Amino acid sequence: MFEELKNEVFEANISLVNSGLVLLTWGNVSAINRAEGVVIIKPSGVDYNKMKADDMVIVNLKGEVVSGDKKPSSDTATHIELYKAFPKIGAVVHTHSKFATVFCQANAEINCLGTTHADHFSGKIPVTRQLTENEVYENYELNTGKIIVERFKSLDPVSIPSVLVAGHAPFSWGKNAIDAVKNSITLERVAEMALFTLQLNPSAVLPDYILNKHYQRKHGPNAYYGQK
Domains and CATH numbers, the chain: 3-219 (3.40.225.10)
- Considering only CA atoms, which of 46, 45, 71 is closest in space to residue 58? 71
Angstrom distance (rounded) from CA 114 to CA 202: 14
> If we measure between CA atoms, which residue out of 76, 67, 89 comes closest to residue 156?
89
Would you write out the chain's pLDDT as a tens digit for each of its 228 residues?
A: 688 999 999 999 999 999 989 888 788 999 999 999 999 999 998 888 889 999 999 999 999 999 878 899 999 999 999 999 999 999 999 999 999 999 999 999 999 999 999 999 999 999 999 999 999 999 999 999 999 999 999 999 999 999 999 999 999 999 999 999 999 999 999 999 999 999 999 999 999 999 999 989 888 888 888 877
In this predicted structure, what is the pLDDT of residue 42?
Answer: 93
Residue 68: what pLDDT?
79
Amino acid at 77: A
How many other CB atoms are found less than 10 A from the CB of residue 127? 20
Pairwise CA distance, residues 120 & 114, whole Å: 11
Phi and psi torsions of 190, nearest 5° = -60, -40
Catalytic residues: 119, 225
Give the model's pLDDT for residue 1.
Answer: 64
Q: How many helices (H) and strands (E) does the chain have?
A: 8, 7
Sign of CA dihedral 185, 186, 187, 193: positive
What integer pLDDT is reported at residue 227 of this predicted model? 79
pLDDT of residue 170: 98
Rounded distance, CA 156 to CA 77, Å? 21
- State pTM to two decimals: 0.93
- pLDDT by residue (tens digit) across 84-126? 999 999 999 999 999 999 999 999 999 999 999 999 999 999 9
Q: Is the dihedral of CA 200, 201, 205, 210 positive or negative?
A: negative
What is the per-residue pLDDT for 165? 98
